[in-house]
Amino acid sequence: MLCVGLDPDPARMPFPLDGAHGATEAFCRAIIDATADLVCAFKPQIAYFASQGEEQALESICRYVRETYPDVTLILDAKRGDIGSTAEHYAREAFGRYGAHAVTVNPYLGTDSVAPFFEHGGGVIALCRTSNPGGDDIQSLVADGKPVYAHVAEMVARDWSTRGDCGLVVGATYPQELADVRAIAPDLPILVPGVGTQGGDAATVVEHGAAANGRGLIVNSSRAILYASSGNDFADAARAEAGRTAASLRLPS
């Protein structure tokens, strides 16, 4: 149930790659190769590529995952959200250009804003309760006796999931909200960021968020794995950290 987030920050490159030509791509490939047998998904975060003008590296990394590890799900973390005519272009970007299996989306623009993603045959994973403190500002407003994030979970479970593959994003930093969302959407996959550097606990996530069959979670860790070591052993250290996180996600047998 582990997902490794690919957030290649040039300020945190391990020193064997720091400043090297093609460092972003080489770093991501090394992390992918070191952890692929431990994960269900890789999740490149597009902002880290866009800030560096590294779209070609992202294309290459996505192709590498699809071709080398075809059983691993490729989630483009882009949090898209726009009106239909624009969303159509974001769908082409995510599923055509990058070949992602699913893309994260922001639900603020509602159901019609995600239709183009389904038409392109890709999955959408909607932000529901995010891992940051400011998530409260809008997501925790109470309407009709329920917080906004619960309305989002209901909208996705009721209206979106009949049209295509859907999931929800709930931060590991809010385990009670995770349990609430699981009750609203018993069968949907939930992508859970915030384990590791952001402070969420993997075992708590499984306890509160697993579906009835013990599965249904995609638990993301990015920085704790990517930057487990800044030395020559960065890939081995990433593998060790990913292994520890994966082990803590296993249910008691």
Q: Which stretch binds a copy of itself (CB under 8 A): 28-36, 66-74, 134-142, 236-244?
A: 134-142
Q: Rg of the chain's alpha carbons, rounded to an integer?
A: 18
Q: Which of 35, 73, 139, 221 binds a copy of itself (CB under 8 A)?
A: 139
Interaction pattern, residues 170-209, with a copy of itself; x per rule: CB under 8 A? ----------------------------------------
Clarify whether 79 is annotated catalytic. yes
Burial level of 70, CB count in 10 A (0-12/13-18/19+)?
exposed
Q: Which of 33, 82, 119, 236 binds a copy of itself (CB under 8 A)?
A: 82
Task: Compute the distance between CA of residue 230 and CA of residue 106 in angstroms, rounded to an integer.
Answer: 33
For 173, 197, 218, the CA distances from 200, given in Å and listed in that order, are 5, 8, 14
Indicate whether 113 belongs to the interface with a copy of itself (CB under 8 A). Answer: yes
List the catalytic residue out of 79, 120, 223, 244. 79
Indicate whether 84 belongs to the interface with a copy of itself (CB under 8 A). Answer: yes
Question: Using CB under 8 A, which residues numbered 52 to 71 contact a copy of itself?
Answer: 53, 55, 59
Indicate whether 121 belongs to the interface with a copy of itself (CB under 8 A). Answer: no
Let me know: does 178 contact 192? Beta carbons within 8 Å.
yes
Q: At what angle do helices 23-35 and 55-68 cross, to 10 degrees?
A: 20
Q: State residue 132 phi and psi, 5-degree precision.
A: -90, 155
Residue 177 CB, shortest distance to a copy of itself, in Å, is 14
Q: Which of 110, 121, 186, 214 binds a copy of itself (CB under 8 A)?
A: 110
Indicate whether 134 belongs to the interface with a copy of itself (CB under 8 A). Answer: yes
DSSP 163: T
Q: State residue 27 phi and psi, 5-degree precision.
A: -60, -50
Indicate whether 36 belongs to the interface with a copy of itself (CB under 8 A). Answer: no
Q: Which of 15, 63, 68, 111 binds a copy of itself (CB under 8 A)?
A: 111
Indicate whether 142 belongs to the interface with a copy of itself (CB under 8 A). Answer: yes
Residues 6 or more apart from 188 whose CB is under 8 A from it?
Answer: 156, 157, 161, 166, 167, 168, 216
Q: Which of 152, 190, 225, 242 binds a copy of itself (CB under 8 A)?
A: 152
Question: In the chain, where does DSSP find H-type helix?
Answer: 23-35, 46-50, 55-68, 84-91, 115-119, 136-139, 148-155, 175-184, 202-209, 223-226, 234-248
Which residues are catalytically annotated?
A: 79
What are the residues binding a copy of itself (CB under 8 A)? 7, 9, 45, 47-48, 50-51, 53, 55, 59, 79-87, 89-90, 92-93, 96-97, 106-113, 127, 130-139, 141-144, 148, 151-152, 155, 223
